[in-house]
Structure 1
């Protein structure tokens, strides 16, 4: 990046540090922070959509939908996250390639040959000749889907409990005024449930932030991967030799995650105060007394 970085072994001090921190791998390290933030920004609303659908299905009067909703919540919540991440991504990837193989491969042969999964080269997703950006985008998409399904199940359990916590008297009053079940659900139940759901959803948001290092298990070069790689001992065989600096890199990650959680607490606190205003809850009662 700097003109004096042409020969790193001929410089020292501040110049050496400037060249070291602006090297290609460090630029990738900085971009990995954007990857983590993008994952969280996309996964959170997607997981909420999964959760809302699962909670709604679990309360449905239609038996198959209710069974599906409760099975989804129980199955995903009952499997350790790390096992689900390792298994589901492989299964989803192979499922996509198998469906594609039925359309592009000759004879549509069953891809399993003993313990090996093989499809024709045209069925690979993405294709082997595709550029690296498409491979990275595909891996990121699988990560978003996996994170969304896992955290969607937990969100579904939180939202289901929040729906059950809405006083039944409010729903019965709406029905007495002639509202249809759909109107009661849309106008009374859903607006009222958020104040009960927010504490649980806040915890899920914090857990999602802390779970982002699992990206490394999915083959994505995230901030933990680069912190370990850049901070490890580098001998004179490397362009910028240095001792083991992993402590400092992981301290930087500590600060990053603490800042994310601190900002999240402030935003969630404001949302909670807004939702609790005028509600018949402990927080709403405290706000009413404070205003007197």
Structure 2
């Protein structure tokens, strides 16, 4: 990185530390923080969309759709996250390759399951062996995002389902009495009001999602936990920058990062709650109304 970093063995003090912290592996470590934030930025809305779909299905008047929505919520919530992550990534990968195999290699005459091996033709592999490294990384990250979204989407569906039931039924009946169709009442009355009931549960779910991001390490993605373990481990004289076991300091840095992230999340969610509660017939909304009335009287 710096011109004086050509001979690490001749460096001491600040110069050694500045060269050590700007190696290619450390740049990968810094980029992995962006990987975690990108995972959260993509997974949160996708999981929320899946949760909304699951909640709508769970309260549907169509029996098979209602069974499907409730089964999705019950099955995913009933399986420990770590087991689901380890199983589902493999299942998704093999499922995609199996579908590609059926399309690209219809003349294949060998069994796909050969003992403990899953064998498909070369054209069906995902990604292809000839693909550049970034394609392999994007594919692995995409599988991780999809797995996170499915798992946390089930929890979001349960929260949203409860929030929909918390909206007073009288409001829906009033909307229908004014001539709204059930679909219009759902879109214009139920959905806008359910968020104030759902936000506390969704806030907790967001915090759980933040704390679950180290599971990326188990899914083969080079995240901050992977790099902290690799860089913090003891390095001998065989390495350019030998040092003792510094994992404590690296993981302490991760602790500070997650504490800051959760604190920023708490502030943002509190402000969002205040905004959603404005004008609502809830305890928070009533407190805002009383505060506005006192300010006006003063």
Give the TM bin, normalised by the shorter chain.
over 0.9
1:264 is matched with 265
What TM-score comes out, normalization by structure 2 length?
Answer: 0.96
Q: Does 1:21 align with 2:15?
A: no
Q: State the distance in 2 between where 1:251 and 1:116 align.
A: 40
* Other structure's SS at 2:60 match: coil
Q: State the distance in 2 between where 1:288 and 1:148 align.
A: 37
Q: State the distance in 2 between where 1:111 and 1:288 align.
A: 66
2:154 is matched with 153
> Where does 1:186-265 land on structure 2 (aligned, <5 Å)?
186-265=187-266
Q: State the distance in 2 between where 1:158 and 1:111 align.
A: 40
Q: State the distance in 2 between where 1:19 and 1:105 align.
A: 51
> Where does 1:1-292 land on structure 2 (aligned, <5 Å)?
1-109=1-109, 110-291=111-292, 292=294
* Other structure's SS at 2:222 match: coil
Deviation of 1:287 after TM superposition, in Å, equals 1.6
Per-residue Cα deviation, 1:205-255 (whole angstroms, up to 9, x for no partner): 111110000001110010001001101111111110011111110111011
Q: Which shifted more, 106-115 or 233-242?
A: 106-115
* Other structure's SS at 2:107 match: helix
Per-residue Cα deviation, 1:238-277 (whole angstroms, up to 9, x for no partner): 1100111111101110111111111111110110001111
Q: State the distance in 1 between where 2:123 and 2:185 align.
A: 51
Deviation of 1:159 after TM superposition, in Å, equals 0.2
Unmatched runs of 5 consecutive residues or more in structure 2: none
Deviation of 1:108 after TM superposition, in Å, equals 4.1
Per-residue Cα deviation, 1:46-93 (whole angstroms, up to 9, x for no partner): 000100000000010011110110000000000000000000000010
Q: State the distance in 2 between where 1:115 and 1:251 align.
A: 40
Deviation of 1:283 after TM superposition, in Å, equals 1.1
Q: State the distance in 2 between where 1:166 and 1:72 align.
A: 23
Q: State the distance in 1 between where 2:128 and 2:157 align.
A: 36
Per-residue Cα deviation, 1:2-36 (whole angstroms, up to 9, x for no partner): 01000000011000000000001000000000100
Deviation of 1:129 after TM superposition, in Å, equals 1.3
Deviation of 1:192 after TM superposition, in Å, equals 0.5
Deviation of 1:115 after TM superposition, in Å, equals 2.2
Q: State the distance in 2 between where 1:49 and 1:88 align.
A: 20
Q: How many residues align?
A: 292
